[in-house]
Structure 1
C-alpha cells in the first residue's frame, strides 16, 4: 500500500454533511465528498492486510485496495477505471449503499474501518468533473435483440453490459421516467436524479433504447415480447408492500410508504400532483424501522410535520456489535440515519393494534409493548397506549415483486413469490420459461442497490452466453 503505517497514523474522517437545520429546507443532497487531500489520507488507511475481506463483503466485488492505493497516489483516472471494472454506477452506490464492505474491512476488527464509501463517492465525482465517464459503444453489432423489463439498477446494469458487447437492447419502464425505484423510491436528498439522467444519456450513446410508460402485462403483451426478442430479462423491483391488517386500516391517512415517497420525487422533478399526501403540520407515525421508514422520516421533516415518531416491532439493537463474533459479516447494531438526526422519536418492541378515526380520517393509533421469548412475540400485559396520529406511513418492507407480471409471463416462483432462477451453473438467471431471465429484486426479493447491480451484470453475462455460446463479459 502507499503508506504501510497509514492505518496507525491517520484517524477515520467521514465526509461532512450540511447541518440538519439547513438541509431540511430543501431536497438537495447534503453529503459533501472528500477533498483530494482528505481522500488521499483516507486511502492511506487501507492496510496491506493480505486477504482483503472487503472485496467479498462488497456484492459487486469492488477491487477496493487497488483504488484506495491509486487515490493515495492521486492517480484518479486509473482509480475510476478500476472502480468501473466491477461497478457500472458507483455514483449510486457511493451515495446510498450501506457499505457492507466497511463492515468486512480487516481494520474494523479493532478500529474504525477504512472509509471506503466516501472514497468511492470522491472517485466517481472526480471522474464526472473531468469528463472521464464517456460512452463505450460496441465495435461490432451481433444482430441479437434483448428486451429488459424494468429500468432500475438491475435493468440498467444488464442493459449497459449487453449493449457494450453489441446487442440491441430495449429497456421498458412502466413509469414516466427511467430509473425504477432509484427514481421513485429513493428521496432526492439522498440521491439527486441528475445522476440517473446522465447515465441514461451515456447508455443511449452506447445504443440502449429506453421506452417509458411501458407497463408489461398491461399495455405491453409479454407473449409478444418473447416472440419479438431473442431474450427477455425481468429486472423490476420488489413493489408488493407488507400490509398491516388491523382495525381502522381503511381510514384516510393510513398509507403505504410507496404511496407517499414517489409523489415527492415527482414534485421535485417539476410535476403537479393532485391530492398529494403531505405531512405538513401533522403528527406522523412511521411504522417500520428500516431504510424506507427512514426515508419517510426525512421527507416528513421536509414537509414540516408537527411531530414524527417511528415504531419498530423488533427489540432495540445494541449500541455496538461484538466484532469478534460478527466480523466480517454485516452486524446487528443501533444505526442512526441522517433522517433521524433531523428530528424523530424512535421506539422499539412496539406492535400497532388499531387505528381510531373521526369522520373517516385517522386521529389516533393504539399500540402495545411486546417482548420476544423463544422466538415468539408476546404482548406485555398492561402496556397498551394511545397516541395522536394524523398520518400513518406503513414502511414494513416488501414481500416480493408484484405477482401480476410473473403470472402473465407464466414462470415458476420460489417460496417467497419471486421469479425462480438460480445464480450458479451453466444456465444461471434463467427462469422456467425459455428465453426469459430474471435478476435483481425480481429474482431475490427486496434487497440493496449494490446487489441489483451485481445481479444485472451477472445476468447480462448469462444472456450473452445463451445468445452467442460464450461471453467476454465479467462474471
Structure 2
C-alpha cells in the first residue's frame, strides 16, 4: 500500500450529514461526501492486511484494497476503472448498500474499519463529475436477442453486461419509469433518481431498449397492475427472444393477520413510499396516503420501516413510532465472535435521528377504530424463551394511531409472474435456479433465466447487481457456447 502505516496514523472520518431539522424540510440527498484530501486519508487507512476479507464480504467482490490505494495516490480514474470492473452501479451501492465489506474489514477487529462505502461514493461521483463514465457499446453484434423482465438493479446489471457483449437487449418494466424498487422503493432523500436516469441514458447509448408500462403475465392484483398500460404474455417473449431473464423484485409483502387489519389507515409500506417518489418526480397521485398531522406507527424495524419514518417526518407527522418484534440488539457486537460476518447490533438510521420513538419485543394484538378508520393499536411486550415467543403477563398497552404502516419484509416475488412463465419454485416461493455449474441461473423452462430477488428472495441491492452480472454470463454461455464476461 502507498501508506503502510496509514491505519495507525489516521482515524476514520465518516461522511457528514445535513442537520436533521434542515433535511426534514426536503427530499433531496443530504450526505456531504468526502473531499479529495479526506478521501486520500481514508484510502491510506487500508492496511495491506494480506488476506483482504473485505473482498469476500462484498457480494460483488469489489477489489477494495486496490482502489483504496489508487485513491490514496490520487489516481482517481484508475480507481474508477477498478471499481467498475466488478460493479456496474457504484453510485447505487455507494449510497444505499449497508456495506458488509466494512464488517469484514481486518482493521475493524480492534479499530474502526476502513470507510469503504464513503470512498466508493467519492470515486463514482468523481467519475461522473469528470466525464469518465461513458457508454461502452459493443464493437460486434451477435444477432441474439434477450428480454429482461424487471428494471431493478438485477435487471439493469444483466442488461448492461449483455448489451456490452453484443446482444440486442430489451428491458420490460411494468411501472412508468425505469428503476424498479430503486425508483419506487428507495426514498429520494437516500438516493435521488437522477442517478438512475443517467445510467439509463448510458445504457441506451450502449443499445439497450427500455419499454415501460408493460406487465409480463396476467391476473395480477391491483396493487401490482396499477401503472401498467399493456400486458405481454411469456409465450410472446419466448417466441420473439432467444433468452428471457426474469429479474423482478420481491414484491409480496408480509401481512399482519390481526383483528382490525381491514381498517382504513392501515397500509403496506410499499403502498406509501412509491407515492411520495412519484410526487417528487412531478406526478399527481390520486388519494395520496399522507402522514401530515397524524400519529404514525411503523411495524417492522428494518430499512423499509426506517424509510417510512423518514418520509412520515418530512410530511409533517405529529408523532412517529416504530415497533420491532425481535429483542433490542446490543449496541456493540462481539467482534471476536462474529467477525468477518455481518453482525447483529443496534443500528440507528438517519431517519431515526430525525425523530422516532423505537421499541423492541413488541407484538401487535389488534387494531381498533370507529367508522371503519383505525384509531389505536393494542400491543403487548414479548420475550423469547427456548426459541419461542411468549407474551409478557400484564404487559398489554395501547397507542393512538391514525396511520399504521406494515414494513415487515417481503416473503417472495409476486407469484403471478413465476406462474405465468410456469417455472418451478423453491420452498420460499422464489424461482428455482441454481447458481453453480452448467446451467446456472436457468429455470425449469427452456430459455428462461432468473436473477436477483426473483431467484434468491428479498435481499440487498449489491446482491441484485451480483446476480444480474452472473446471470448475464450464464445467458451469454447459453447463447454462444462460451463467455468472456466475468464470473
TM-score after normalising by structure 1:
1.00
- Counterpart of 1:355 (choices 364, 367, 372) is 367
**1:218-272, Cα deviation, whole Å (9 max, x unpaired):** 3111111011110000000000000001000000000000000000000000001
Candidates 240, 247, 250, aligned match of 2:252? 240
SS of alignment partner, residue 16 of structure 2: coil
Runs of at least 4 residues off by over 4 Å: none
SS of 1:81's equivalent in the other structure is helix
Q: How far did residue 359 of structure 1 move?
A: 1.1
User: Which residue pairs with 2:465 in the alignment?
Assistant: 453
**Partner residue in 2 for 1:103:** 103
- Confirm or deny that 1:366 pairs with 2:378: yes
The correspondence of residues 379-390 of structure 1 with structure 2, limited to 5 A, is 379-390=391-402
Question: d(CA) in 2 for partners of 1:387 and 1:440?
Answer: 38
Out of 263, 278, 291, the residue aligned to residue 279 of structure 1 is 291
Name the structure 2 match of 1:71: 71
Identify unmatched segments of 5+ residues in structure 2: 219-230
Aligned match for 2:346, one of 331, 334, 337:
334
**Displacement of 1:77:** 0.4
Partner of 2:62: 62
Measured in 1, the distance between the counterparts of 2:471 and 2:441 equals: 6
The count of residues paired between Structure 1 and Structure 2 equals 475
3-state SS of the aligned residue for 2:364? strand
Q: C-alpha separation between the residues in 1 aligned to 2:203 and 2:61?
A: 23
Instruction: Tell me what 2:387 maps to.
Output: 375
SS at match of 1:295: helix
Q: Secondary structure at the match of 1:215?
A: strand
Partner in structure 2 of residue 195 of structure 1: 195
SS of equivalent to 1:252: coil
Q: Distance in 2 between matches of 1:221 and 1:404?
A: 12
Displacement of 1:32 after TM fit?
1.2
- 5 Å-filtered alignment, 1:110-189, equals 110-189=110-189
Specify the SS of the correspondent of 1:13: coil
1:18-57 to structure 2, matched below 5 A, reads 18-57=18-57
Report the Cα offset of residue 58 of structure 1.
0.1
CA deviations on 1:330-386 (whole Å, 9 max, x unpaired) are 000000000000000000000000001111110000000000011110101110001
User: Which residue in 1 is equivalent to 2:12?
Assistant: 12
Partner of 2:274: 262
Tell me, what secondary structure is at the counterpart of 1:414? coil
SS in 2 for 1:66: helix
The structure 2 residue matched to 1:417, chosen from 419, 426, 429, is 429
Q: Which residue of 2 aligns with 1:306?
A: 318
Distance apart, 1:426 and its partner CA: 1.0
- Partners of 1:286 and 1:386 lie apart in 2 by 14
Distance 1:414 1:224 in 2: 25
- State the alpha-carbon separation in 2 of the partners of residues 434 and 48 from structure 1: 46
